[in-house]
C-alpha cells in the first residue's frame, strides 16, 4: 500500500479534479436555483408554476452532472463527486484506502469552495429564504420520510451506475443515465428531502446557511443507500464483475483505480 506522501505525489491531480468537479456542481446549483426561485428574478416572475421551475432546475443539474462526468477531468478522476459513491467503490475493493480518504476530503472542500464562490458572485439573493444557499432539509412529511427517500434514490443511482459502468457495451452511457436520474430525482423527489444523495453537497450548504436541520439524514442515508446497492450488486453479479471505480471508462486517460478494464 502506498504511503500518504506517495499517494499525494502520484494522484494529486485526480484529487483536485474531484474538488473542482463538486465545486462546479455547487456553483451551477446555486446559480440555477437563484435564477429560478429568487422572487426578484425576472425568470421567477415569468414562470409562476413551482413544479415547472423545479423541473427546469432538475434538467439544468442533470446536464451539469453529465457535462462533468464526460469532461476531461471527469474521465480522469472517475467523477465520483460524492463521498457516498467513493465509499461504495471502496467497499467493492476498487479504490485504495488513501485515495478514498483524499477523494472524500477533496469533495468536501471542493463543494464548500464552490458554494462560497457562488455566494460571492450572486450576492445577497443566495441568502434569501427561497434559495438559502440551496440547503437540503426534510419536506413537510418529516425527517423519517426524507431518510427513506434519500436511501431509495441513493440506492437507485449507485445500482444503475454499477450496472452500466461494468458492461463494456454500455459503459460509455453511464454518465448520461446518471444525469437523467439526477434530473428526475430533483423534479420528483426534491419535495420530500430536497434531493441531496451527497453528504458533501449538503455539508457545504449547511455551513453557509447555518442550517443543520436533520443533517444526519443526509450524512447517513446516501451512504447506506449506496453501500446497500454495492452489496446487492456483488450478491447478484459477484465481486469479479466490478471492473473499475470510474463512471466513464471509455477513454484513454490514466486510471488510478484497481481497474479491470486495463487487463
Whole-number percent of the chain with pLDDT over 70: 99
Distance CA 95, CA 100 (A): 6
- CATH top class, domain 8-241: mainly alpha
The x, y and z cell numbers of residue 33, run together, are 436555483
Which pLDDT score is estimated for 263? 55
Split at pLDDT 50, 70, 90, the class of 262 is: low
Region 10-37: mean pLDDT is 97
CA angle 200, 84, 260 (to 5 degrees): 130
Which pLDDT score is estimated for 4? 79
Instruction: Give the phi and the psi of residue 92 in degrees, each rounded to 5.
Output: -85, 0
Distance CA 21, CA 59 (A): 18
Region 57-68: mean pLDDT is 97
The gap from C-alpha 161 to its chain's centroid, in whole angstroms, comes to 12
Region 210-236: mean pLDDT is 97
Region 165-181: mean pLDDT is 91
Whole-number CA gyration radius for the chain: 18
The x, y and z cell numbers of residue 213, run together, are 436541520
pLDDT at 13 over 90: yes
pLDDT 10s digits, 105-130: 999 999 999 999 999 999 999 999 99
Which pLDDT score is estimated for 168? 80
Distances (CA, A) of 128 to 39, 242, 258: 9, 44, 45
In the DSSP assignment, the letter for residue 92 is T
Amino acid at each position: 500500500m502506498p504511503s500518504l506522501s506517495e499517494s499525494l505525489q502520484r494522484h494529486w491531480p485526480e484529487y483536485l479534479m474531484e474538488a473542482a468537479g463538486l465545486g462546479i456542481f455547487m456553483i451551477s446549483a446555486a446559480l440555477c436555483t437563484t435564477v429560478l426561485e429568487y422572487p426578484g428574478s425576472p425568470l421567477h416572475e415569468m414562470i409562476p408554476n413551482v413544479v415547472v421551475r423545479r423541473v427546469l432546475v432538475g434538467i439544468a443539474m442533470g446536464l451539469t452532472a453529465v457535462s462533468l462526468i464526460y469532461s476531461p477531468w471527469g474521465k480522469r478522476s472517475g467523477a465520483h463527486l460524492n463521498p457516498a459513491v467513493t465509499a461504495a467503490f471502496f467497499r467493492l475493493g476498487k479504490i485504495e484506502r488513501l485515495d478514498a480518504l483524499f477523494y472524500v476530503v477533496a469533495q468536501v472542500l471542493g463543494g464548500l469552495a464552490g458554494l462560497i464562490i457562488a455566494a460571492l458572485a450572486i450576492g445577497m439573493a443566495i441568502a434569501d429564504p427561497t434559495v438559502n444557499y440551496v440547503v437540503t432539509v426534510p419536506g413537510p412529511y418529516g425527517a423519517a420520510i426524507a431518510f427513506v427517500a434519500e436511501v431509495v434514490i441513493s440506492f437507485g443511482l449507485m445500482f444503475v451506475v454499477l450496472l452500466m459502468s461494468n458492461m463494456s457495451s454500455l459503459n460509455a452511457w453511464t454518465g448520461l443515465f446518471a444525469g437523467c436520474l439526477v434530473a428526475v430525482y430533483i423534479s420528483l423527489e426534491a419535495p420530500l428531502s430536497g434531493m441531496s444523495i451527497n453528504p458533501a453537497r449538503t455539508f457545504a450548504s449547511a455551513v453557509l446557511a447555518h442550517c443543520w436541520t436533520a443533517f444526519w439524514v443526509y450524512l447517513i442515508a446516501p451512504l447506506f443507500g449506496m453501500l446497500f446497492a454495492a452489496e446487492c450488486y456483488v450478491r447478484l453479479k459477484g465481486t469479479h464483475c466490478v471492473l473499475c471505480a470510474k463512471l466513464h471508462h471509455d477513454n484513454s486517460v490514466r486510471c488510478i483505480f484497481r481497474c479491470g478494464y486495463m487487463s
